[in-house]
Amino acid sequence: MPEREWSGVGELQALLGPGAQFEGTLVFQGRIRIEGSFKGKIRSEDVLIIGSSAAVEADVEVGALIVRGGTLKGDVRAKQLVEIYAPARVHGDIEAPQVFLEKGAVFDGQCTMVEEKAAPADAEAHAAVSPSFST
C-alpha cells in the first residue's frame, strides 16, 4: 500500500473558495482547502488545508491539518501532524504527534503531543517479536 502524502502540495479534491459560506458537518477523503467561511464539524483521515482568507469555527479531526493563514476557532485532533504558518490565528486545543508553529503565527490554547498510534498490523508484528518472561 502506498505511503500517504501529508504535505499540502498534492491535488485538491475540493475547494470552498473565498466568499463561500458553509455550515454543518464536513466529511471528506483526499485533500480539501477552505478559503471561505465554515462553521460546524470537520472529519477526515486525510489532509485539511485552511487558506489565508478562511474563517473556520469547527472541531476538527483529520489526518493532517495545514493552516496557511486565516482563522480557526475550535479544538483540533490530528493523527499525523498540524502545521500553522503566519499569519494564521488558531484558537483552541491541539492534539497531534507532530506540531509545527511558524514565527508570527498565533496559537491560543493547549497543545498535547501524543505518540502516533501504530496500525493494528504493526502492533501485532511488534507483539509477535516481543520477548515474554515468566516467573
- Collapsing DSSP states into helix, strand and coil, what is residue 47? strand
Residue 77 has phi, psi (to 5 degrees) of -125, 120
- pLDDT > 70 in the chain, percent: 78
Which range (31-35, 37-41, 103-107, 121-125) has the least confidence?
121-125
Average pLDDT on 100-120 reads 86
Distance CA(34)–CA(17), nearest Å, equals 6
- Note the pLDDT of residue 54: 97
Note the pTM of the prediction, 2 decimals.
0.79
Distance CA(71)–CA(54), nearest Å, equals 6
Across all residues in the chain, what is the average pLDDT? 85
- The full set of domain ranges for the chain reads 14-129
- Which run of H or of E encompasses 126? helix 120-129
